[in-house]
Amino acid sequence: MMSFLSYFINGVSLGSVYAIIALGYTMVYGIAKMLNFAHGDIIMVGGFTVFTIVSTMGGSPVAGVLASIVVCTVLGVTIEKVAYRPLRDASPLAVLITAIGVSYLLQNVALLIFGSNARQFTSVVTLPPLKLAGGELSISSVTIVTILSCIVIMIALTLFINRTKVGQAMLAVSEDRGAATLMGINVNGTIAVTFAIGSALAAVAGVLLCSAYPSLTPYTGSMPGIKAFVAAVFGGIGSIPGAMIGGILLGIIENLAKAYISSQLSDAIVFSVLILVLLVRPTGILGRKISEKV
């Protein structure tokens, strides 16, 4: 029972990381209608920024986290402006390929700077683990911080979207870009803000991910990126609560599958669950039904 609980809580924690990444995916998809394949690599950039500040330059973990948020935000906005904005009205496939190009670019720049050997990442959370049930259940501090961060981010994001003018503009643009333009909303600005938020979230996710799994390579971001993309689709892409639910469910399924079925097959199981969900609900758990007008 205790071991189940421990797997479960670790699953929620991993799922929280997926959820934070998936939020970025889903917001960008909802507003710019594009699959930002490079999103996973922003996570990696966030991880390396913290690594550089803390391990190489001896800075404090807080400075590292703040720096990584700033770097990723600037990077995200720059990528949007240089690579995606000129393709705003191009075919979705062209945008997808560009995003893939950006992903390769980030990976290879990191490869040039840091090399392909895995770097040891020092966790930014240094608190002792929490012992419950007389020491039988030990939960690491990273796990707790991850889950708490996820909750805080979710609440903050919901408030931001529902209570602020920019948030409302984001909703409007995602609903109908043309109409939003006619209503005097600055569409380009709104999309830039979305990329900024998504990238900042990716930085946070990068720090949390590397604290929990402390090996960092230029390819660290791609698999979690894909999984988070799956989580976003799973929950219904474009939906913020959907990304949250999708991410956490995915984390739990992955960890339980690893523990009880097969650690080698856990990815296959995660993807199979995704397929099953989409067969029953073709637009994900919380996705809106799309019907074509004849």
CA distance linking residue 82 with residue 266, whole number of Å? 38
The 3-state DSSP class for residue 221 equals coil
Binding part of the chain for other proteins, among 46-54, 93-101, 124-132, 203-211 by CB under 8 A, reads 93-101
CB of 223 to other proteins, least distance (A): 9
Per the DSSP assignment, residues forming a β-bridge with 137 are 132
Q: Enter the DSSP assignment of 83.
A: I
CA distance linking residue 229 with residue 103, whole number of Å? 14
**Contact residues for 17 (Cβ-Cβ < 8 A; gap 6+):** 146, 150, 205, 208, 209, 212, 224, 247, 251
Q: Enter the DSSP assignment of 20.
A: H
CB of 290 to other proteins, least distance (A): 7
Site for other proteins in 222-281 (CB under 8 A): 226, 229-230, 233, 237, 262, 264-265, 267-268, 271-272, 274-275, 278-279
For 137, the enclosing helix (H) or strand (E) is strand 137-139
Residue from 7, 61, 66, 105 touching other proteins (CB under 8 A): that is 105
Is residue 195 near other proteins by the rule CB under 8 A?
no
CB of 98 to other proteins, least distance (A): 4
Is residue 113 near other proteins by the rule CB under 8 A?
no
**Would you say 92 or 189 has its CB closer to other proteins?**
92
CA angle centred on 26, ends 209 and 163, rounded to 5°: 100
Whether residue 39 contacts residue 202, with contact meaning beta carbons closer than 8 Å, is answered with yes
**Would you say 18 or 67 has its CB closer to other proteins?**
18
Is residue 4 near other proteins by the rule CB under 8 A?
no
CB of 30 to other proteins, least distance (A): 12
Q: Where are the alpha helices (DSSP H) in the chain?
A: 2-32, 39-51, 61-79, 92-114, 141-163, 165-175, 177-182, 187-212, 222-235, 240-260, 266-280
Residue from 104, 148, 151, 183 touching other proteins (CB under 8 A): that is 104
Residues that bind other proteins (CB under 8 A): 29, 35, 83, 86-94, 96-98, 100-102, 104-105, 107-109, 111-112, 226, 229-230, 233, 237, 262, 264-265, 267-268, 271-272, 274-275, 278-279, 282-284, 290, 292, 294
